Amino acid sequence: MGREVSESCVDSLLTEMVSSYCDRFYANKPDLAARRIEAIGFQVGLQLSERYTMERPRFSDHLEAIKFICKDFWSELFKKQIDNLKTNHRGTFVLQDNRFRWLARMSVDPSPENGDLSQDNPPAENKAAQATSMHLYFPCGIIRGALSNLGIPCAVTADISNLPACSFVVRIKA
């Protein structure tokens, strides 16, 4: 029943999408491009969550939904679960994937000092980091779409302090 797609295809599709939005459609308007990519992810997440929540009881609270994202949803997408889930019990969740597939092929020097992007960085690394973050709007959108389809309006941001580990921060709109 479940039809499958080669991972490399998905990877290159993602890369292609990002590049075409950043460099072609909305070149020199990065925030706009980001929003568009995120929106695409949103719809994908919406529809995937529709599919992956079939045959399962409704979630009674937010935590359950988040857990679903971490476990089943993630393994449907990436054949692995989220490695680490933290929460402050006040509507903020941090989902960490120690080896995020879509960044695995990303050739950003994972040396610690370029971890904190705020610090003094040579522009090159900054650029690289930006390119990477561009690729993260899509998964962010997916998570947001899935959650909001489960009735949890939220904002999702990604943090790539130490690649290839990647952590998604979900802030649920109270």
Partner 1 sequence: MIVCVAVVGHQNNPLYIQSFTEADDALKLHHIVHCSLDVVDERVNNPKKSGPTLNETFLGLLYPTENYKVYGYLTNTKVKFILVTTDLDVRDADVRNFFRRFHAAYVDAVSNPFHVPGKKITSRTFAERVSTIVKSFGLSSAG
Q: Lay out the site mask for partner 1 across 145-164 (x = CB under 8 A, - = otherwise).
A: ----xxx-------------
**Least Å distance between CB 88 and partner 1?**
25
Under the binding rule (CB under 8 A), the answer on residue 5 touching partner 1 is no
**Least Å distance between CB 106 and partner 1?**
26
Q: Which one, 57 or 122, has the nearer CB to partner 1? A: 57
Q: Pick from 6, 8, 57, 173: which binds partner 1 (CB under 8 A)?
A: 57
Sheet containing 92-97: give its strands across.
84-87, 92-97, 166-172, 154-159
Q: Pick from 43, 75, 84, 98: which binds partner 1 (CB under 8 A)?
A: 43
**Least Å distance between CB 31 and partner 1?**
24
The whole-angstrom separation of Cα 18 and Cα 20 is 6
Output 149-157 pairs: Cβ under 8 A, ≥24 positions apart: 149/45, 149/46, 149/49, 149/50, 150/49, 150/53, 150/59, 150/65, 150/68, 152/62, 152/65
**DSSP 8-state code for residue 25:** I
Under the binding rule (CB under 8 A), the answer on residue 89 touching partner 1 is no
Question: Which residues, listed in sequence order, are joined to residue 172 by a DSSP beta bridge?
Answer: 154
Summarize as ranges the residues that interact with partner 1 (CB under 8 A).
43, 46-47, 49-51, 53-60, 149-151
